Amino acid sequence: MKRYNIINEIPPSINVDGKLILFDRPKAMGIINATPDSFHSVSRVSNVHEALKLAEKMVAEGADFLDVGGCSTRPGSEPPSIETEWERIADVLPNLRKNFPDVVISVDTFRSEIAHRAIEHGAQMVNDISGGTLDPQILKVVAKYQVPYVVSHLKGAPKTMQENPEYQDLIGEIYYYFSQRLKKIREAGINDIILDPGFGFGKKLEHNFMILKNLHIFNDFAMPIMVGLSRKSMIYKALGISPEEALNGTTALHMAALMSGAHLLRVHDVREAVQTIKLYELIKYAEV
């Protein structure tokens, strides 16, 4: 006999430009890095033509979102100047918005000035790795434009976050962090929120796998959960391989994330992520 959970039967959603996006099925977000130093070279673009070519491939493979960043946040990285970050994405954003009107264009930044300019140039969502802790003014910008906001968990700052991060109660601390940040975000007037537990952002290898194992706990917040696992060090260091060899491991962890309640996969490889989602749904909805 099929059992129903009333809470879980109501999928989370976000409002994008007056259109309700329902996460009744998981979705894929393609990564477009307008940076020279992001850890996976295939995701890097250096001009509008390269960005459009990569975006076209990702959309054809099933991407529902495209996430554009001009500032690498890999461990140990130094952020560029605001003007450099902006120059990298200034022409990319409006061209993506124009050429792919049915896809949500997200800007990956923790800086309020970049978020402001990006939204003015076509970005429909802000993906902030710091949850507003590195630049609190970003919440005012997001609230002003009423765009969806991805709040991520970050311990420390990108340059130092992997220098022996410690937790007394990993899941409890992240849960408390979200509770506190969501209060600030809602007080700022932001209504559409996505949670990201921040894999690799101030976490040791074992921390990342503990978060993945307990990902379902964050469904308590009744918001879409985004995961950024794609080709990260938790995969290639655990397997003793390179990021370029980490697609198989990425796919395996994507399935684990979906089984634990993830709604949005932020990925370098859209085709494989979409295939994983399809297979997950066959499992989820299989009936005797």
Q: Which amino acid is at 174?
A: I
- pLDDT, one tens digit per residue, over 123-171 is 999 999 999 999 999 999 999 999 999 999 998 766 665 677 889 999 9
CB 188 within 8 A of CB 147: no
- pLDDT, one tens digit per residue, over 232-280 is 999 999 999 999 999 999 999 999 999 999 999 999 999 999 999 999 9
- Strands of the 27-33 sheet, one edge to the other: 193-196, 149-152, 125-128, 104-108, 65-69, 27-33, 264-267, 226-227
Active-site option among 27, 203, 231, 266: 266
- Would you call 231 a catalytic residue per the annotation? no
Secondary structure class of 65 (helix, strand, coil): strand
Which domains are seen in the chain, by residue range? Answer: 26-284 (3.20.20.20)
Q: How confident is the model at residue 36 (pLDDT cuts 50, 70, 90)?
A: confident
DSSP 103-172: SEEEEE-S-HHHHHHHHHTT--EEEETTTTSS-TTHHHHHHHHT--EEEE--SS-TTTTTSS---SSHHH
How far the first Cα of the chain sits from its last, in Å, is 10
Active-site option among 203, 232, 237, 271: 232
Tell me how far apart the alpha carbons of residues 94 and 98 are, in angstroms, rounded to a whole number: 6
- Would you call 184 a catalytic residue per the annotation? no
Q: Name the pTM for this structure.
A: 0.93
pLDDT number for residue 160 = 64
